[in-house]
Amino acid sequence: MTRPIHPNPNPATGAGHHMWDKLDNECGSGWDLLIDPILTMCDVLGLEVLQVKEKFGGVRVYFTPYYNGDVSDARCTPADEAILEEMIEAAETASFKTCEICGGPGRLTNSKGWLMTRCLDHEEPGSIEVEQIETIRV
């Protein structure tokens, strides 16, 4: 499968899916390479990505459900959606070890009550390393 690439990819990561242009993106470019495969899968399945953001120091991706209560309205199969959910969960897990700023190896820290994943170069002064919190999916 050929991955569609934005004509002006992020120079730091090379990532740049065409969906970035219309996406409500609230996270740093260091996670672009974690998110691009998810955008590609959503594109292939015909699902709309509603939002990508940082929450509690990790990446979160929200997309339209595969159907809105009526299976005849399905945009993809439940199996396809399960694969997408696994991809999102893997990206969430990886984001807790990936600097949100540069994409390098990072660690989850607490800086003045804010959880963020940063490398040593991008860590806020006075940050304290914390254990990853369990992600609860609703």
- DSSP, res 131: P
Phi, psi (degrees; rounded to nearest 5) at 53: -150, 165
Give the pLDDT of residue 81: 83
10-40 pLDDT tens trace: 444 445 555 655 666 788 889 999 998 998 8
How far apart are the C-alpha atoms of 55 and 45, rounded to whole Å?
A: 25
- Residues (pLDDT < 70) of the chain are 1-24, 65-74, 132-138
Phi, psi (degrees; rounded to nearest 5) at 73: -95, 10
- DSSP, res 42: H
H/E stretch holding 52: strand 49-55
CB 62 within 8 A of CB 38: no
End-to-end CA distance of the chain: 31
Give the pLDDT of residue 128: 93
Instruction: Decide: helix, strand or coil at residue 105.
Output: strand
Give percent of the chain above pLDDT 70.
70
Angle, helices 78-95 vs 32-45, to 10°: value is 170
Give the pLDDT of residue 51: 86
Q: Give the global pTM.
A: 0.77
